Structure 1
Amino acid sequence: MSDDRRLDVLRAIVEDYVATQEPVGSRSLVERHHLGVSPATIRGDMKVLEDEGYLTQPHTSAGRIPTDKGYRMFVDRLATVKALSPAERRAIERFLSESVDVDDIVQRSVRVLSQLTSQVAVVQYPSLTRSTVRHVEVVSLDGDRALVVVITSSGRVEQRTIQLPAPLTDQLLADLRARLVPVVLGERLSKAAVKVADLIHTFEPVDQPLVAAVVATLTQTFSDERSDARIVVGGTSNLARYGAEFDTTVRPVLEALEEQVVLLKLLGEASSGVTVRIGGETGFDTLAGNAVVASAYGGDGSRATLGTVGPARMDYPGTIAAVAAVARYVGRMLDDA
């Protein structure tokens, strides 16, 4: 048997099963894919693929369906990334370019990714702790309150309102800004947290309690790692298409969506390019019937991940192309922000 033909048979079975959700028989393969051999020859090829673990037969008289190993072979050796159409690329770029801030970018990314793939989309917020300080501002509010604003290199804006032991005078506020900005501008947040703490003792003793309150808030903002665990999920309604497989496909995904730690782990392995994890490769037995397609996005200062979660019988070429495209556009927007 020709290895090339066997790969063609596997590719055809994966494509047909994804499209029809029905086991694929030899006669339908010959009719749909013009493989140039008889159904009997195709049946022999299918038997070998089954013996090698790439296919399985759910019932004696039924056709074959791919196994996780079969999908993996398809992704690794057979799947050519389906190029997005110019209209799709323009639509993504236009939709994302209308974002007004990082929150809007993330929300729009989830929407467009779930629409393109018809899967559940998951987008992690850009990292805050890896970012640098682009701008910091302290604004005096009414009475003894103040607003601290931190803008990072990833475009994130963090705002904290604090209660002070006394009102900030205009002179102290101006002095604080003048000393604060040169110290933290361009610094990684972790280093900025250390530098602002050293500022307290540079002020007059009478002003140090006020400065210490501002510095404490800034330090907390710079050191807050919770933002790295923020994710947004969209497209859960797409799971309705798989209602007949609720226990094997839909329920495990819904349970995973409730556990943010699980989602972060599923996306976390994506470091460069698109990563595909199928069935047991996800590291969660409950997701045996599902797959995750993920990609990192953004530069070193804002690196995070996004991707899709769905059934193992997904359109891998189309999903890989969509995830890669959205990651590329989002990363570009953050770099230009």
Structure 2
Amino acid sequence: MKEPEEQNANASGGGEPILIGEVPDGAEAFLAADIALDTDRPVIFIARDDKRLARAAALLRFRLPEAELLRFPAWDCLPYDRVSPKADLVATRLATLARLLRKPKVGARRIVVTSINAFMQRVPPPDFIRKLSLSLRPGQKIGFEAVQARLVDLGFERVSTVTEPGEFAPRGGILDFFPAGRSTPVRLDFFGDEIESVKSFDPLTQRSDEAIKGVVLGPVHEFVLSEDSVERFRTEYRDTFGRVKGEDPLYESVSAGRLHAGLDQWLPLFHEQMALLPDYLAGAELVFEPEVGAAKDARLETINDFYQARKSVFEAEKKDHSYKPIAPDRLYA
């Protein structure tokens, strides 16, 4: 990934960077708004941390209320952690990637606000999102069981009552689920194989709210445990770490089609190739906050420290159940 210049806003639409100095602290978002108004290209604003990402998003919303403003946060877990990022955060990331594959509203400027940590992290390729997306709308004939099967394939978890993103619950001819990118879950009411109505509902009271035109289904995680992706993971895992001889909980869980704590840390093993956020926005103007370069260097140092720590333990133990870290350049750029 190209190194941004420190202490400058760096806008790049495929040509030479434009370096703008002496931008007052906090005014970078307004500069990004001016760039968005002056171009037909989408804009990606890269903040140096999550706190400044949130502030930039608020300022951009104030400055350009009519713009399509999308957030793309970084994972909230440490590199090479044994836990996965939170479900609602992953839902926001996936919803943004899915939205970027669709055309913006007519006349609306598209701005993505992210952090350098998220910008550096590799993501699934656009085809992964595109092939798994499914639109559902009133009057559509698709079948109750077919939608349930699709939810399972996308990684949704079956529960008795839907309250969190990534959950679904069938009840008679009603199917509740909580897709990525929505603040409230969705209720499908079927009449035979036809979707009779699509409504949002309150996860606390479970009461249906307003009718909506439709909803787009997508994956719950940045990978799926389909037969093909599981086989790809198994092959890549053996190629990377060698033949599995004894007990390996991670390898065994994925082989059985089950989630494993921290599985996201091996995300590249599920995909033939990985992408970066700009791959979803061809020709975007990139606007970097001051000191992003230093923040990137610090992040890379942290990633390498965690990698070396995991690697040294694995090489010392040489056991199948040991944590096997993938090389940093497979997940970060």
Higher helix fraction (1 or 2): 1
TM-score scaled by structure 1?
Answer: 0.23
Higher RCO (Cα < 8 Å, 6 or more apart): 2
State the structure with more CA Rg.
Answer: 1
